[in-house]
Amino acid sequence: MARMRATEAAVRVLEREGINTAFGVPGAAINPFYAAMRARGTIRHILARHVEGASHMADGYSRAAAGNIGVCIGTSGPAGTDMITGLYAAQADSIPILCITGQAPRAKLYKEDFQAVDIETIAKGVTKWAVCVREPALVPMVFQQAFYVMRSGRPGPVLIDLPIDVQMAEIEFDDETYQPLAVHKPAATRRQAEKAVGMLNDAERPVIIAGGGIINADASDRLVEFAELTGVPVIPTLMGWGTIPDDHPLMVGMVGLQTSHRYGNANFLRSDFVLGIGNRWANRHTGSIETYTKDRRFVHVDIEPTQIGRVFGPDYGIVSDAGAALDMFITVAREMKAAGKLRDRTEWVTECGHRKAVMLRKSHFDNVPLKPQRVYEEMNQNLDRDTCYVSTIGLSQIAGAQFLHVYKPRNWINCGQAGPLGWTLPAALGVRAAAPNKKIVALSGDFDFQFMLEELAVGAQHKLPYLHIVVNNSYLGLIRQAQRGFQMDYEVSLAFDNINADPDQDNVRGYGVDHVAVAEGLGCKAIRVKSPNEFKDAFARAHALMEEHQVPVVLEFILERVTNISMGTEIDAVNEFEEILCLDPNLSLEESRDMGSQANKTLAPARR
């Protein structure tokens, strides 16, 4: 045992739990904790420009780190309230992050002291656990419990609030014998697996819905193995995108009202059985439950008992970690295959693959200003299959999900349920801190980019290079499109005549904020692209600038002001606003793939 300040004991617990990076903003009420971090010298600290930004950095870090946990730190009062959005975003997507806040002395609590707010109560609705530590001796044990809570069952965030006098107090602590608590994850039984796989095998046209729980469990390879064993097509959710490579024959598209593929919706609507693993039946994926569930049976596997039946009652439910369930499913499927009991799915897979080849959206437009579809086509051509995309919400994210390709888990990092504007930029910095060798490309509309633009300076200061693509139509594009239902276009334009605009840049005038100038003023590099013949050179220059300067590089594309992106109110009624590729349904699968690729490049631009 050794005598030390409670804050030193807390930092030692963080070390033992594997923490080596933290994001935050120091302040008077959390300075004792910072003093302990400085004295230990074991945890890299990245100074954010806004405390909400620090929470999103921690979120991005956790999503990319595969097992490690992002930590964000702030002082008392508004620092904690600033982090609430970050905690909500993490909680909604089952992401563990640890938020540490300073607090007024215990004697000043509930007395309206300066920057003393009851953050424990405020945070309880958006965390797995929120606690204000009122006894110094509890500090190391509370931190130990926090990691147990974050990692057990459905992952999620924790907030620990530390009054300054608790931080300063001395306690006895023995870190040499400290051991992280063993986490608990429920696992499917043999009988449960036999029933689920048996129901799957009895179906004529089954599909697997692969959710984000598979990525949390690092079980993507097991998903692919199970799909290949059974020959059953896979439909990833937005949070599960990358669990199976986009070009795998059994990946048959995403389903949903917005972030979906035409062929994904069509393939799902032909199915008669659904095995959902690690997913939550999100409403943007399902549309109305009546349409989604009609004429098909469901098995639902989820780590959280209360998820089974929350949205609709499945025909059979299993409470299990996704990886543990897949292990058992594979064992049962192997035995069934060895006994000759697995059905041949060749015809069903071929049918789904044919739709994947012919039911395409057009992306090749030569318009100036640019159409967004062309930007995503160029991203596919100029970015390789190892690219990790980071995005949050808006038409930029929706079109990205419709047109981009993802081939590996944790290469689509998306704030799926909360969707807070501004999340993309700080989250991308967190991803970079967690994965120094990843090829990171953030994707924002102009409004998402402007929300937390100041965090670019963090990337410049701490040498966190990544490519940030900004598709600029000078609109709140998704809200403008939603306002069509109210026959209005009201307070959603970001356009104005910038008095500092270059008069020679005629096709940029009136677009308002000069993102290139702002990015460069924050210590980064930026390139503006206005026409299709600039694409190839712009991507090459951007990569060269990142390599040379080791800072974020902004690549801005000037879009036409109005483009409506495909979406609808039901998965069987998605409105295709642009011309789609209509290929001969009688073509072979190989012919369709070849013609689809060629047709996308040669069709005349569609009229809006």
| Residues catalogued as catalytic | 25, 51, 421, 476, 479
My answer on whether omega of the bond before 236 falls inside 30° of 0, hence cis, is no
Q: Are 213 and 277 in contact (CB under 8 A)?
A: yes
Residue 85 CB neighbours (<10 A): 18
CB count in 10 Å sphere of residue 570 = 14
Sole residue written with tokens 């989250």: 427
d(CA 375, CA 552): 19
Q: Give me 405's structure tokens.
A: 């390709």
Residue 414 — φ and ψ, nearest 5°? -135, 130
Distance (Å, whole) CA 127 – CA 482:
31
> How far is 99 from 115, CA to CA, in rounded Å?
17
Residue type at position 172: E
Question: Which residue from 453, 454, 450 is spatially nearest to 475, judged by alpha carbons?
Answer: 450
Cβ proximity of 22 and 37 under 8 Å: yes
CA 173-178-184 angle, to 5 degrees, is 130
Beta strands 574-575 and 580-582, pairing class: unpaired
Distances (CA, A) of 285 to 311, 401, 434, 484: 12, 12, 29, 22
Tell me the H-state helices in 271-386.
283-286, 289-293, 322-338, 346-358, 372-382
The enclosing H or E element of 517 equals: helix 515-521
C-alpha 232: how far from chain center: 26
Distance CA 458, CA 450 (A): 15
How far, in Å, CA of 566 to CA of 180, rounded?
48
Q: Are 129 and 158 in contact (CB under 8 A)?
A: yes
Task: Count each helix (H run) and each strand (E run) in the chain, helices first.
Answer: 25, 23
What are the two backbone dihedrals, phi and then psi, of residue 519, each rounded to the nearest 5 degrees? -60, -45
Q: Residue 492 burial (CB < 10 Å; 0-12/13-18/19+)?
A: middle
- The helix or strand, by DSSP H or E, that contains position 448, with its residue range, turns out to be helix 446-451
Instruction: Return the number of other C-beta atoms located less than 10 Å from residue 489's C-beta.
Output: 14
Radius of gyration in angstroms for the set of CA atoms belonging to the chain, rounded to a whole number: 25
| Encoded tokens for 349 | 């897979």
Are 292 and 314 in contact by the 8 Å Cβ rule? The answer is no
Nearest 10 degrees: CA dihedral of 37, 124, 390, 301? 120
Helix, coil or strand: residue 472: strand
H or E, element range at 597: helix 589-602
Length of the chain, in residues = 608
Of 449, 494, 493, 503, the C-alpha closest to 471 is 449
